[in-house]
Structure 1
Amino acid sequence: MINRRTFTKAAGLGSGVAAVSLAGFPASAKASTGHRSGTGGPAPTVPTVTPGTHTSFDRIKHVRAGVLNVGYAEAGPAHGPVVICLHGWPYDIHSFVDVAPLLAAQGYRVIVPFLRGHGTTRFLSARTFRNAQQSAIALDIIALMDALKIDQALLAGFDWGTRTADIIAALWPERVKGLVSVSGYIITNVEAQKQPIPPKAEYAWWYQYYFATERGRLAMENKTNRHDLCRLVWDTVSPTWDFDDATFERTAAAFENPDYAAIVIHNYRWRLGLADGEARYERYERQLATRPVIEVPTITLDAERDPFTAPGNGASYRDRFTGKYAHRTLTGIGHNLPQEAPTAFAQAVVDVDHL
């Protein structure tokens, strides 16, 4: 476990607040008065919402946090218990566009940040290495919490967001009230990643190997190729999700970040051991390589139609969660679980808060 009071100095990171509101959140995000966070009593039932009911966040803010100026959406009461929702690739904050108002209506303060290299999040310095190794992204979220003076939060994520939330829960458990982890325990062990996996699983990761080539890097730097590649990933990893072009285009705008290609390429190359990280993160990576257990209350979610979902209904990672725990598999749902099944995702957040 790492002391949160000393990590910023050790990692060479700083923080500061400079929030800018662009508009107000929709009326549907008004808080209810019946929130019973962490009481151990029965969790309230989240009302059912049709995916795609909401199409945008009306309020975007910015805050200086660590090496970034983080862009994030916020919903719900300012003093409600905090939920931080973390997106994956090739996605953005719109994965939670229906989730956020559901949680806000239950009295939660919902924070949905653009990860580094996405949307309106920017590096503070042109000299900062565009590093996307896993511990760097996790420390971004710790820095965000510090900048917003959030001592503890519920963390909920998928894809890169799951990995980030898992890392924080493992290394800084005092900052995590509860965890919703899509796909379970996916902290990367770079040495283990060098070993081949079954061919069918390798096939699903085709873009990871594409990005290991110069051809793949050039594709990500080209606006048209980047757009079409990301759309292809959406189509293939969420085979039952009937989204329209406008839904994809709202997220695709986040890919225009000037650091997007560099961050995406570095992330996948680093995970394969093909790109170096930074020395200041090495002590965290050494701890993560030991596959530390997660002790905070956790609900894991598997998407049945996600090609990356491991077989065994969560059995492959069950031993990594040693606290209060529940597992759910969502039938007919693909990789972008919170946007495809927002009610189930929001319910998991509320439920883990009452474990």
Structure 2
Amino acid sequence: MSSKAPTLKRIDAGVLEIGYFEAGPAKGMPTILLHGFPYDPHAYDAAAEQLAAAGLRVIVPYLRGYGPTRFRSPETPRSGEQAALGADLLALMDALDIPRALLGGYDWGGRAACIVAALWPERVAGLVSCGTGYNIQNIAEAWRPAPPSAEHRFWYQYYFHSERGRLGLSENRRELCRLIWQLWSPSWAFDGATFERSAVSFDNPDFVDVVVHSYRHRFGGVPGDPALLPIEARLAQQPQIEVPTIVLQGADDGVDPPETDDESAPYFSGCYARRIIPAVGHNLPQEAPAAFAEAVLALA
């Protein structure tokens, strides 16, 4: 995070020891911000600073497989499935004794936030979901092909289905992840220092296993963690989200461009709004921190 941010903290939460940053007053409204693949908490440096200055208690964790976050047992499956991300977020809230929070996220982090909002709405005061608004996977329908114009953007997912892709991610993780940053945010002129600040998080010893499992599981190619089957069963029902929600989409998102029709809207039964941010790509909180912070504050 920025030079004004506090030092890294750690807490045992469920199956993980989670590394996280915290900013803002301890009695402020808890606000948890969750990064995606392949990014890390630095995506929220500027937005977290703005939210903390506005009086929110901002918590930005490293997801499983990133940075200092570690599995507490070598026996725990290195799963990257959606239920794991949701369970991790709920465990973090319990460990920090947070009964209710604002949640914001994109990509994997948006999925975790949507899952908790859908399954445990009493724990969520409001949701800011970037990119795909309703970010809960419909794994039973994952075999159905998307239009070719969308399929080609998912090359990295199919790459990770192969052992060649696993090896490529392991041996070339910086080059591969930097390419993804460029493809997904074509109008974002990030520099080498900005990328490297986040890229060190990909050196986590579980990064490759978690990432590969995530992209294989979402297509039904590998089994999930047996302990998470009850959550996956609930997610298979494609539950609606009733908490107040603002969806933010980057107009220049190279992997998940916004559609004219808002296909996510029917999945939200509460107060709902969608905003498309011009000249912004996939990494929306880092590319447009003011727009992201404005959306969070609108729900506070």
Task: State the one-letter code of the partner of 1:347.
Answer: E
User: Is residue 56 of structure 2 the alignment partner of residue 121 of structure 1?
Assistant: no
Task: State the one-letter code of the partner of 1:139.
Answer: A
CA distance in 2, matches of 1:312, 1:232: 24
TM-score, structure 1 normalization? 0.82
User: Is residue 296 of structure 2 the alignment partner of residue 349 of structure 1?
Assistant: yes
Contact 1:313–1:329, Cα closer than 8 Å, also in 2 = no
CA distance in 1, matches of 2:218, 2:83: 12
Match of 1:163 among 86, 102, 111: 111
Unpaired runs of at least 5, structure 1 = 1-24, 26-53
Partner of 2:82: 134
User: Is residue 39 of structure 2 the alignment partner of residue 91 of structure 1?
Assistant: yes
User: Is residue 201 of structure 2 the alignment partner of residue 264 of structure 1?
Assistant: no
Match of 2:267 among 320, 324, 341: 320
Contact 1:169–1:296, Cα closer than 8 Å, also in 2 = yes
User: Is residue 282 of structure 2 the alignment partner of residue 335 of structure 1?
Assistant: yes
Task: State the one-letter code of the partner of 1:307.
Answer: G
CA distance in 2, matches of 1:313, 1:176: 28
Unpaired runs of at least 5, structure 2 = none
CA distance in 2, matches of 1:179, 1:55: 27
Deviations 1:164-200 (A, max 9, x none): 1111000000000000011200201112111110111
User: Is residue 163 of structure 2 the alignment partner of residue 202 of structure 1?
Assistant: no
Contact 2:250–2:258, Cα closer than 8 Å, also in 1 = no
Return structure 1 stretches of 4+ with deviation > 6 angstroms: none
Deviations 1:40-71 (A, max 9, x none): xxxxxxxxxxxxxx478442100000011000
CA distance in 2, matches of 1:261, 1:57: 29
Q: SS at 2:275's partner residue?
A: strand
User: Is residue 168 of structure 2 the alignment partner of residue 186 of structure 1?
Assistant: no
Contact 1:157–1:165, Cα closer than 8 Å, also in 2 = yes
CA distance in 1, matches of 2:85, 2:200: 21
Contact 2:80–2:213, Cα closer than 8 Å, also in 1 = yes
CA distance in 2, matches of 1:307, 1:243: 15
User: Is residue 177 of structure 2 the alignment partner of residue 230 of structure 1?
Assistant: yes
CA distance in 2, matches of 1:140, 1:313: 33
Q: SS at 2:117's partner residue?
A: helix
Partner of 1:32: none
Please give the residue correspondences for 1:1-355 in structure 2 after superposition, counting only pairs within 5 Å: 54=2, 57-183=5-131, 184-222=133-171, 225-309=172-256, 311-313=258-260, 315-353=262-300
- Root-mean-square deviation (CA, aligned residues, Å) is 1.3
Q: SS at 2:135's partner residue?
A: coil
CA distance in 1, matches of 2:290, 2:238: 31
Q: Which has the larger radius of gyration?
A: 1
Deviations 1:208-263 (A, max 9, x none): 000000001111222xx111000000000000001100000000000010100000
Identity of aligned residues (%): 52
Contact 1:302–1:313, Cα closer than 8 Å, also in 2 = no
CA distance in 2, matches of 1:122, 1:57: 22
Q: Report the CA distance shift for 1:55/1:314 in structure 2 as closer, same or farther (over 3 A).
A: farther
CA distance in 2, matches of 1:200, 1:112: 34
CA distance in 2, matches of 1:317, 1:129: 31
How many residues are matched? Answer: 299
Q: SS at 2:200's partner residue?
A: helix
Contact 1:86–1:157, Cα closer than 8 Å, also in 2 = yes
CA distance in 2, matches of 1:175, 1:192: 29
Q: CA deviation at 1:90?
A: 0.4
CA distance in 2, matches of 1:296, 1:313: 24
CA distance in 1, matches of 2:14, 2:21: 18
TM-score, structure 2 normalization? 0.97
Q: SS at 1:90's partner residue?
A: coil
